[in-house]
Amino acid sequence: NAGVTQTPKFQVLKTGQSMTLQCAQDMNHEYMSWYRQDPGMGLRLIHYSVGAGITDQGEVPNGYNVSRSTTEDFPLRLLSAAPSQTSVYFCASSSGLRGPQYFGPGTRLTVT
Amino acid sequence: QQPVQSPQAVILREGEDAVINCSSSKALYSVHWYRQKHGEAPVFLMILLKGGEQKGHEKISASFNEKKQQSSLYLTASQLSYSGTYFCGTELGAGNMLTFGGGTRLMVKP
């Protein structure tokens, strides 16, 4: 099993550009989440999904969109990149709310 | 509301013990503990459910005090491999997604 995979690993965007961060898992997990981690800080929840077709907002959803058309994939879209979105983005999946979360390797995004 | 972790950082010698605390002002339903090494993704350590149970993972154990709304992570006879940042994630209401603390940086020196 590959677990949770994320692409790309690194990305540089100019202010105003849009892009999609990809996340996929092969563990048949219902729960998937996107977090951002800023230097010296913890993980902040952006959006999450409790199953295909169901998504909801986390703590810091502004500027991001998600969709979940399949169990396996949970892409994160940046609509119009801003320097404040420079961060490391982690995707995670779990079998349930109280199950262990398995994190992908992360995407390091820089917005100039 | 984000749980508060203490201390923010700790330096140990191999073989020493440490305790990391995670506190919330709201009722906790579960507490998760994760460890993240520099440049890597967080890795799951353990989950504690409401009920005050204690769990263990190698020489790392944790407790959950419902009355204090606090969880503590105990690292016994620390090893170099224990170095990293430890995060607690709390379920603040039944069915709510996890909210993570700011992390505790642990460095174990030879």
Write the pLDDT tens digit of every residue in A57-91: 999 999 999 999 999 999 999 999 999 999 999 99
**Residue of B4, B44, B91 best to disrupt the A interface, most CBs of A under 10 A:** B44
* A97 Cα to chain B: minimum distance (Å): 7
Q: Given its phi and psi angles, is residue B34 left (phi above 0), alpha (psi -120 to 50 degrees) or beta?
A: beta
Reply yes or no on whether the pLDDT at A40 is more than 80.
Answer: no
pLDDT band per the 50, 70, 90 thresholds, residue A1: confident
Q: Of the candidates B40, B47, B87, which has its C-beta nearest A43's C-beta? A: B87
Reply yes or no on whether the pLDDT at A9 is more than 90.
Answer: yes
Cis peptide before B7 (omega within 30 of 0): yes
pLDDT of residue B66: 83
Lowest mean pLDDT, pick from A33-42, A52-61, B47-56, B91-100:
B47-56
Structure token pair of residue A60? 């810091």
Asked if residues A65 and A79 have their Cβ atoms less than 8 Å apart, the reply is: yes
What percentage of chain A has pLDDT greater than the value 90? Answer: 89
* A110 Cα to chain B: minimum distance (Å): 16
**Does A89 reach chain B within 8 Å, measured CB to CB?**
no
Asked if residues A49 and A23 have their Cβ atoms less than 8 Å apart, the reply is: no
Write the pLDDT tens digit of every residue in B52-110: 566 666 789 998 888 888 999 999 999 999 999 999 999 876 667 888 999 999 999 99
* B96 Cα to chain A: minimum distance (Å): 8
Average pLDDT over residues A37-65: 93
Structure token pair of residue B35? 């460890």
Residues in chain B closer than 8 A to A44 (CB atoms): 100
Contact check, Cβ <8 Å, B103/A41: yes
pLDDT of residue B52: 59
Residue of B nearest to A42 (CA): B102
Residues in chain A closer than 8 A to B35 (CB atoms): none
pLDDT of residue A15: 98
- Please indicate whether residue B36 or residue A2 has the higher confidence score (pLDDT): B36
* A103 Cα to chain B: minimum distance (Å): 6
- Cα separation, B92 vs B54, in Å, equals 19
Contacts of B101 (CB under 8 A, 6+ apart): A42, B2, B3, B4, B5, B22, B87, B88, B89, B90
**Does A21 reach chain B within 8 Å, measured CB to CB?**
no
